[in-house]
Structure formats: C-alpha cells, structure tokens
Amino acid sequence: MAPRRTINGFSNPTVKFLRSLRDKKHRRRERKFLAEGLRLLTDARESDVLPEILVMSSGRAPHPLLAELEDAVAAAGGEILEMDEDILAKVTGKENPQAVAGVFAEFDTRLARIDRSTSPIWLVAQALRDPGNLGTMLRTGDAVGAGGLILIDDCADPFSVEAVRASMGAIFTQRLASARWEEFIEWLREGPGQLVAASLRDPTDYRMAPYQAPCFLLVGNESQGLPDTYEAQCDLRVTIPMRGRADSLNAAVAGAVLAYEALARLSD
C-alpha cells in the first residue's frame, strides 16, 4: 500500500492550501488546480497526467481504479492524503464530495504549444464567460476528436473547479491555449488554417459551407457574440438556421453543432 498522510483538522495548513485553489487568485499564484472524482482522475492518468497531490476520503469504498491511481501517484513521487469526508467537503466546496480529488499543475497554455497539423478540427472561443460552457466545449472537442480549445481574450478560467468538472475529464485530453485576438490571428496566418465563425454577417448555411482542414471553429461571447472586426477577418462565416422563437443557440451548443458538421464534411 502506498504511504499516506492523514489529516484530521479543518485548520490544518494543507487543508487551507487545498481550499485556496478554488480561488482564481490563488490558482494563478500557485499554478495549480483541483479536479474531483475517480472517473476524472482516471481519465487524467490514462492521458499520462498525474496529480501532484492525491486526496482521498477515509470513508471511501475500495476500487481497483483508485488502487491503480494511488500506486501511480506514489511511483511518480506524489503525495497521498487521507481525510474525513466532511473535511474533503470543505476542500471541494461540495456537500456530498466525491471520494477522491487531485491537485494538478496547470498546463502551459501558450499558442506555441499548439501543433495545428495534429487534427483537422480545432475549437476557438472568444470572451466565453461561463465556466460550464467552457467545460462543455472541451468535452465536445474530445467527442469529435478535435485537437483542442483556444481561448481568445478574457474568458472564464479553464482551471476553475466548475470548468474542470464540466469538462468531464476532457481538460486532460484536449490541448488548451489562451491568447489575445491579435496574437491568435498572427499565429493562425503563419500556417495553414481556415477560420470559420458562427455569424449572422453574410453567412453561409453551416450545412453547405466549404470546410477545409485544419478548420478553426470560432464562437463568440454568450450575450454579445463576436466583435465585427473579428468576424471580418474570418475566412468563412456560417449560420445555423433557427426554426423557433430563439434567435441563437447557447455558445457551447453552437460550437458542438458546427464541430459535428465540419467533422462529417471533412471525413467525406
């Protein structure tokens, strides 16, 4: 059995440190983030990403995947902590926490890490504010085999507990990059890449659009959409017909619809 350290008190400095990672300011300072749940941590392990700290509830049920995770973390020199469920609840901010959580090092989100040749589809989000939408886009990217998600301008923090939870483990399978618009467009034009925007400006029906790989599918802010100047720099603008009263789809849903259509067309 891997060595463990037991924590018994709410005032323990380690508990305070773990709780602090729910705050963006502290995550930025420490360059670390929290992820919760055996399935999510197993996805991370299968993607060759291990937590630096593995936190387990003392009342958990035994599970072979958890045993494998413990052994992997111990072999990598990580720390394994055990604490009561009520203390773990304070760490995660959930009344009924999962039996396991992990502390991970934040990823390098520079555009330079992105190799556009590794996938025909990439998702791009501009000023996306909702962490649930951000996590959903990561999950969509995983589902369609996209290369990753590029966040433009001031987006929600992808390492927040809410975004990580909504990604359902896709934060460990998708490349993640962050940049200002000017940096992104300069990087994009340095190589092959078609920039496709969900737009109402002289658009083509998304089912008739001539998608080309590598295809970068761009969605804008949930309430304001994309700035006009950004849309003007796109290679292709597409629209999704609306048959009811709603004039638009949720940003993450729109990204999923476009991603599956582009995947189908590029696979023909």
**b/e code 58-85 from CB counts within 10 Å (16+ = b):** eeeeeeeebeebbebbbeeebbbbbbbe
Q: Are residues 79 and 121 in the same domain?
A: no
Q: What is the pLDDT of residues 155-176, one digit of tens each?
A: 999 999 999 999 999 999 999 9
Quote the pLDDT of residue 171.
96
**What percent of the chain is helix, strand and coil (3-state, nearest 5)?**
40, 20, 40
CATH value at residue 12: 3.30.1330.30
What percentage of the chain has pLDDT greater than the value 70?
97
- Asked if residue 51 has pLDDT above 90, the reply is yes
Q: How confident is the model at residue 153 (pLDDT cuts 50, 70, 90)?
A: very high
| Best CA proximity match to 47, nearest among 7, 102, 2 | 102
Looking only at the bridges linking them, the beta strands covering 100-105 and 79-83 are: unpaired
Mean pLDDT in residue range 180-191: 97
What is the CB neighbour count within 10 angstroms for residue 137?
Answer: 32
Q: What is the pLDDT of residues 76-110, one digit of tens each?
A: 999 999 999 889 888 887 766 678 999 999 999 99
Residues contacting 216, CB < 8 A, separation 6+: 122, 123, 124, 150, 188, 193, 194, 195, 196
Residue 5, phi then psi, degrees to nearest 5 = -115, 125
Give the number of residues written for the chain: 268
What is the CB neighbour count within 10 angstroms for residue 245?
Answer: 5
Mean pLDDT in residue range 192-198: 95
Quote the pLDDT of residue 97.
65
What percentage of the chain has pLDDT greater than the value 90?
75
Among 78, 105, 132, the domain-final residue is 105
Q: Are residues 206 and 88 in the same domain?
A: no
- Asked if residue 268 has pLDDT above 80, the reply is no
Quote the pLDDT of residue 99.
87
Q: Are residues 168 and 100 in the same domain?
A: no
Q: Are residues 74 and 117 in the same domain?
A: no
Quote the pLDDT of residue 94.
74
Q: How far is CA 140 from CA 31, 34, 207, 228, in A?
A: 25, 21, 19, 26
Among 69, 88, 105, the domain-final residue is 105
What is the CB neighbour count within 10 angstroms for residue 54?
Answer: 24
Q: Are residues 174 and 246 in the same domain?
A: yes
Q: Are residues 38 and 10 in the same domain?
A: yes
Q: Are residues 168 and 118 in the same domain?
A: yes
Domain count, the chain: 2
Q: Are residues 124 and 157 in the same domain?
A: yes
Mean pLDDT in residue range 113-137: 96
Q: Are residues 33 and 118 in the same domain?
A: no
Mean pLDDT in residue range 134-146: 96
Q: Are residues 260 and 138 in the same domain?
A: yes
Mean pLDDT in residue range 19-40: 93
Q: What is the pLDDT of residues 6-20, one digit of tens each?
A: 988 888 999 999 999
Q: What is the pLDDT of residues 58-70, one digit of tens each?
A: 877 888 999 999 9
Q: Give the domain range for residue 192.
A: 111-267
Q: Are residues 38 and 86 in the same domain?
A: yes
Mean pLDDT in residue range 99-123: 95
Quote the pLDDT of residue 62.
82
CATH value at residue 218: 3.40.1280.10
Among 60, 90, 105, the domain-final residue is 105
Quote the pLDDT of residue 198.
87
**b/e code 44-53 from CB counts within 10 Å (16+ = b):** bbeeebbbeb
Contact 167, 135 (CB under 8 A): yes
Mean pLDDT taken over the chain: 91
| 5-7 β-sheet, strand order | 5-7, 79-83, 53-57, 100-105, 32-36
Q: Which two tokens stand for residue 52?
A: 């630096």
Q: What is the pLDDT of residues 206-259, one digit of tens each?
A: 999 999 999 999 999 988 889 999 999 999 999 887 777 666 678 899 999 999
Q: Are residues 91 and 155 in the same domain?
A: no
Q: Which amino acid is at 22?
A: R
Quote the pLDDT of residue 90.
85
Question: Positive or negative, the Cα torsion across 194, 148, 125, 200?
Answer: positive
Q: Which two tokens stand for residue 99?
A: 């039996």
